[in-house]
Structure 1
Amino acid sequence: MNETDLHYPPDTCPFCSIAAAFPFPESARLWGSGDKELLARSVPGEEEADKVERTEPSSFVVLRSRHVLAFLDILPMVGGHLLVTTRQHQVKVADMQAVESREIGFWLPLLARTVSHVTGVSDYNIVQNNGARAAQVVPHVHFHIIPRPASMPEIKNKSWAMFGRGQRDDLHDEDGKKMAGDMRRVLREEVEKELEKKAARL
């Protein structure tokens, strides 16, 4: 094994810790007759989501569906920097199961609209790195949704290695709680719109 591809087991993975702390409340599949209820339940309620101390460091969860989670990056490049990841420990995109790919494909547009709406920024990057040479810091597959406001902070390192500690400021708990709460509210609205569009097609 190449040393640049070393990765740690799920029991030490911070993203797996978040997944364990915020389980999906249903055993049923996401897709099927119960779409409306299951989609709505994929966005955690405030009482559950505000318990940011469930993990160390704190987690600001926006989505916790059967196969996918979304939470704020604790070292954001800009406000609203969101991570979207698989619930199960997969290292790279090539390791993802079909059901995980399908669910991430469903949620990414809704989450992108959510980030854009909450931050008021219409331009954004969706970045996904695979392996240490590609600047993947946490070896658990994830997508970055990064708003691109008109004025971006100065980045010391101009490469994609900027996704690491030392380049960005920590996310403070109060800021994270507010941002994640706003995103959950907007995401619930996006889910409702998606269900209305689906009903209109039937």
Structure 2
Amino acid sequence: MKVGLYFGTFNPVHIGHVVIANHMVQYSELDEVWMVVTPHNPLKKKKGLLEDFHRIHLVNLATADYDYLRPSDIEFNLPQPNYTVNTMAYLQERFPKHEFALIMGEDNLDSFPKWKNYEVLLHTYKIYVYPRIDHSRVEPSPLMQHPNIVVVDNAPIMEISATFIREGIKAGKNMQPLLDKEVWKYIDHNLFYKK
């Protein structure tokens, strides 16, 4: 089985995440996408992050209607901060018959060389890249030419950010259209992101 790993803090998971994950299964050779909820991204601040169990629950709610999208809390029990190279090695050992790949936005390729042992990831795994609008980018990342980079050209460009959603909720805006119905209900009921 070919499994794409879509890492994120998913704070909160929104329709853009689900659209991209679904598209990767529909328009590539991936059989499943596992949405790996990261407890703490070493390149991001932890402030304002919902508790792990809330974020994995939200991903469960958002993916409930899709057999080929699976929430994963695999990183919750691994040493923190989480490094993708360690997670990949752990998953490969635990699921030796699976063929794992990474999924990332084109904008993440710019920071990819900052990742721990990124060369190992680049040479060991395929990386499925979806387009992002970046007006500051003059030319594509040189990594786009690497044989293990698979550009999924026809992926919809989703310019929705979890930061925008959190800020909107805090400002009293209705962000419901950007979230799965059950995700919105859970966030609203628990008054998340209001402060």
Shorter-chain TM-score above 0.5: no
Q: TM-score, normalised by structure 1?
A: 0.24
- Scaled by the length of structure 2, the TM-score of the pair is 0.25
More helix by share: 1
